[in-house]
Amino acid sequence: MSEEENVQVDQLLLEHVIEAIRPSLQADGGDLKLVGEKDGVVSVELTGNCAGCPLSTMTMSMGVERVLVENVPGVKRVEAVMADGGMAEPMDNPFYF
């Protein structure tokens, strides 16, 4: 196992960074809720305008995931979950409106 795989995610730092991301999403009528974290995989729920936005896949990968991976040691990836607890389906083409 590499040293990176052994890093425990600091939950307070994770919550702090998510709180720093939220105003950007809220400015467009959306929001982000931390659902949980396990083994470096962070589960979040996009709400408001972000929940049904065709660009939500880009928001997750190029925005939320990038910021969390870069700023919270131990975070490996971010997954979106739906309000009912199911996993969000990845979009085939995030640029299709």
**Higher local confidence (pLDDT), 2 or 39:** 39
What is the rounded CA–CA span in Å between residue 50 and residue 59? 8
Please name which of 12, 24, 8 lies closest in space to residue 62, comparing C-alpha atoms: 24
The model's pLDDT over 83-96, given as tens digits with 9 standing for 90+, comes to 655 555 444 444 33
pLDDT at position 3 over 60? no
Q: Does residue 64 surpass a pLDDT of 70?
A: yes
pLDDT digits (tens, 9 = 90+) for 49-60: 888 788 888 888
CATH (residue range 4-80) = 3.30.300.130
